[in-house]
Structure 1
Amino acid sequence: MLTIDQQIMKKEEGTIITPAGFQVAGLHSGVKRKRNDLGIITCDVPANAAAVYTTNVIQAAPIKVTKESIAKEGKLQAVIVNSGNANACTGKQGEKDAFLMRSAAAEQLGIPEYYVAVASTGIIGLPMPMDKIIPSIKLLEPAASDNNVDQFNESILTTDIFTKSTCYQTTIDGKTVTMAGSAKGSGMIEPNMATMLAFVTTDAVIESSMLQVALKEVTETTFNCITVDGDTSTNDMVLIMASEKSGNEGLTPQHREWSVFVELLRKTCVDLAKMIARDGEGATTLIEVEVNGALNDKEATQAAKAVVGSSLVKTAVYGADANWGRIIAAVGYSKAIVNAETIDITIGQVKLLENSQPLAFAEEEVSEILNNETVKIVVDLNIGTGTGVAWGCDLTYDYVRINASYRS
């Protein structure tokens, strides 16, 4: 019998429109100087929907609109997205503008307003240039084409270097079920969530309430386990839509293949989360921190987040410096339960610390490992069976340069 992992296959050429029923479009409206800055995802039927949002108590106007839309029936048929302007901290006018974006998209598609979600990302505190956005919404022509996918994926970016997309397939009840996603995120990335937007599509048959259960569970070990710089934004959103076109039996936690669906969602979100971490502003290295032997999984994840979020660990990776002292210090202040005498630390394949005692190692060998595009740090607390993983990136001179001139 195949394991759950073996039942799920990555579809290398798949995109956000591979699940049945979805189309996208993207274009340049003029909010940004050059790149596309306005996009849309549509479904040919009202799709069951769920979302999770930033934990920042200051939340942008589009989040209010999207919450209201999903609350109506638990369904969405479109998501209108702009980049370059976050429409955050813009007062009552910002709310009016977000609702106006919703109504313009609904009118363009001929659907009820409450079937439209709104997402924005960019500079905080600037009025929305509605004179550019509204006429451009009327020019969006969603289609299921590779060119449209490229245009959409570009339209949601801010300081990102590359677009982020992934797709997986599995079989549930003998039916092929597909899931795919697109995301953006580069700076102000910190658990929980951050300046990131992620949109996931699937053709699985599943009610909105069950989508919410699965998304909340998966977000905790994927998007909430990435960090770039410790800042949490006002606009973050992960949104999933299910067209229910695959023909499987309705998925609930009682379904015999519920765990397969959850893993399908987890793999999709892990891919997007790691790409966001890898594309941290100015980053040269993706850092993965795995903590084992914790009291429980929650404690392990807590420690992993502390290590990957440490500015000193990040700069050590950038400088290819095998400074394990910074790693153990981060474990110590993580507030996870630890035994100071039983900690092991490994970078790549080289163990640097065993039972909290330093081991002899070749500095040159570890420096070479730290110069790779991906660096894995493993910490074993040796006090339990809990495991957790978190992702981040190194901290470079370019991070300062990019953020020092973000508005100019």
Structure 2
Amino acid sequence: MITKQPISSKIHMIENGNIADVKGFRTAGTHCGLKRKRPDLGIIVCDVPASAAGVFTLNKIQAAPLYVTKESLRRTNGKLQAVLVNSGNANACTGQKGYDDALEMRKLAAQKCNIPEQAVAVTSTGVIGEHLPMEKIRLGVEKLQITDEAKLFSKAILTTDTYTKEVCVELTINNKVVRIGGVAKGSGMIHPNMATMLGFITTDAVIEPDQLQGALSKVTDETFNRITVDGDTSTNDMVLVMASGLAGNDTLNPQHQEWSIFNEALTLCAKTLAKMIARDGEGATKLIEVQVTGAATNEEAGKIAKTIVGSDLVKTAAYGRDANWGRIICAIGYSDCVINPQTIDIAIGPYQTLIQSEPKEVNDDEISAYMDTADTIVIQVNLHCGSGTGEAWGCDLSYDYVRINAGYRT
């Protein structure tokens, strides 16, 4: 049974919710042999042509599936009806054959769902530089059993992740119940603007593609682009949103009186997934959340927060439960943002370590105990330079990160 946990008076988190809890969407997942045992091929299908929007990696080396997906969005003016995803092989740096294989994946999915080829997006994640074993893909698409249950899909997109990442929120627009569901994968090579991360969001809201694209781009800047695990930006990754329109609300746009509520719910969905990705960083034992206030602008606050959480020295200090705030202020200093070196406050959890750039006497053992027992290590910074605020999320850097990545292909 689905139960609801209240987030605000207008938005509720659906416990154990996922993308298939949204009107019009079904999924499937299967094992086709790209990975040894686990599911490695999945599909999302919408019962109707859906408004769609996407954001893509800024790495100049982009995998073939990204080109195919962007072509589909262009040729349909932002309408999609299915997304086919494989893990275990990135189909990146694979030349003309890789592009042709991505086109064939699109065709196979279209035939499976009896929809036009251009209504299909495709994406891949996994090892770079190896051609897809297309015979396995063909057989796998035939095996897909499309249902209202999303668990196999959420497992099929994983690589080194240790758990699935799913969310669904519910809100009311024009007295119509609207849902937004999301699923993501990501564990290593995470440093968006985008990184080794796939995100798929479904909604039954009525919204046109251009408005959906604008909303997604803004939300991505504030959520997915604020996470970092290891500073590497990958070749493949994307976030796609599809809107079936089956909720029956008045068409959403910036003039709609409940536009801000929709954006708040979309942000909540994306932020929840982003934090799950950061928490599941390869070898991670802690989520790190950095909250910056008093920056010159919101953009600079976000940049400073991400600089701190991306610092290897901060990340290793978090792993060692070391209250070394000097590493935090060092990262602030090289963020290339407006600061006043004389007015910085820093706190680690509830413990103030710096006030107006003057060290405060602290009990290192107490802070270490906080860092050890807290599931999320919260670092707060007040720059006293303006009204800008921003957040970023990452994880600690452990010995296991090296072990996992040293043996990634073996």
Select 2:43's aligned residue among 35, 40, 45: 40
Measure how far apart 1:14 and its partner are.
1.7
Select 1:61's aligned residue among 49, 64, 89: 64
Distance 1:6 1:308 in 2: 32
Q: Please state whether the residue corresponding to 2:220 is helix, strand or coil.
A: helix
Distance 2:222 2:370 in 1: 26
In 1, are the aligned partners of 2:57 and 2:192 still within 8 Å (CA)? no
Give matches, 1:290-309, under 5 Å: 290-309=291-310
Q: Which amino acid aligns with 2:83?
A: V
Q: Does 1:82 align with 2:99?
A: no
Q: What do the CA deviations read for 1:221-248 (whole angstroms, capped 9, x no partner)?
A: 0000000000000001000000000010
Q: What do the CA deviations read for 1:19-52 (whole angstroms, capped 9, x no partner)?
A: 1010000010000111110000001111110000
Distance 1:287 1:13 in 2: 24
Q: What do the CA deviations read for 1:306-354 (whole angstroms, capped 9, x no partner)?
A: 0000000000000000000000000000011100000000011000000
Q: What is the match of residue 370 of structure 1?
A: 371
In 1, are the aligned partners of 2:52 and 2:243 still within 8 Å (CA)? yes
Q: What is the match of residue 177 of structure 2?
A: 176
Q: What is the match of residue 3 of structure 2?
A: none
Q: TM-score, normalization: structure 2?
A: 0.97
Distance 2:330 2:142 in 1: 54
In 2, are the aligned partners of 1:186 and 1:195 still within 8 Å (CA)? yes
Measure how far apart 1:13 and its partner are.
3.0
Distance 1:13 1:215 in 2: 23
Q: Which amino acid aligns with 1:239?
A: L
In 2, are the aligned partners of 1:105 and 1:138 still within 8 Å (CA)? no
Distance 1:403 1:333 in 2: 28
Q: What is the match of residue 219 of structure 2?
A: 218
Q: Please state whether the residue corresponding to 1:346 is helix, strand or coil.
A: strand
Q: Does 1:381 align with 2:383?
A: yes
Measure how far apart 1:191 and its partner are.
2.7
Q: What is the match of residue 152 of structure 1?
A: 153
Q: What is the match of residue 97 of structure 2?
A: 93
Q: Does 1:105 align with 2:105?
A: no
Q: What is the match of residue 280 of structure 2?
A: 279
Q: Does 1:119 align with 2:160?
A: no
Q: Which amino acid aligns with 1:382?
A: H
Would you say how many aligned residue pairs link Structure 1 and Structure 2? 403
Q: Which amino acid aligns with 1:202?
A: T
Q: What do the CA deviations read for 1:63-112 (whole angstroms, capped 9, x no partner)?
A: 00100111122111100000000000000000000000000110111110
Q: What is the match of residue 139 of structure 2?
A: 135
Q: Percent identity?
A: 59
Q: Which amino acid aligns with 1:225?
A: R
Q: Please state whether the residue corresponding to 1:320 is helix, strand or coil.
A: coil
Distance 2:9 2:403 in 1: 44
Q: Does 1:11 align with 2:18?
A: no
Distance 1:141 1:176 in 2: 28
Q: Please state whether the residue corresponding to 2:187 is helix, strand or coil.
A: strand
Distance 1:150 1:213 in 2: 29
Q: Which amino acid aligns with 2:278?
A: A
Measure how far apart 1:138 and its partner are.
1.2
After the TM superposition, which of the residue ranges 219-228 and 189-198 deviates more from structure 2? 189-198
In 1, are the aligned partners of 2:186 and 2:197 still within 8 Å (CA)? yes
In 2, are the aligned partners of 1:11 and 1:168 still within 8 Å (CA)? yes
Q: Please state whether the residue corresponding to 1:361 is helix, strand or coil.
A: coil
Q: What do the CA deviations read for 1:104-134 (whole angstroms, capped 9, x no partner)?
A: 1101111100011001000000011111111
Distance 1:225 1:250 in 2: 30
Distance 1:78 1:33 in 2: 26
Q: What is the root-mean-square deviation of aligned Cα atoms in Å?
A: 1.0
Q: Please state whether the residue corresponding to 1:194 is helix, strand or coil.
A: coil
Q: What do the CA deviations read for 1:355-382 (whole angstroms, capped 9, x no partner)?
A: 1111011111100111122110000001
Measure how far apart 1:5 and its partner are.
4.3
Q: What is the match of residue 402 of structure 1?
A: 404
Q: Does 1:28 align with 2:34?
A: no
Q: Please state whether the residue corresponding to 1:336 is helix, strand or coil.
A: coil
Distance 2:192 2:239 in 1: 13
Q: Which amino acid aligns with 1:314?
A: K
Q: Please state whether the residue corresponding to 2:19 is helix, strand or coil.
A: coil
Q: Which amino acid aligns with 2:128?
A: I
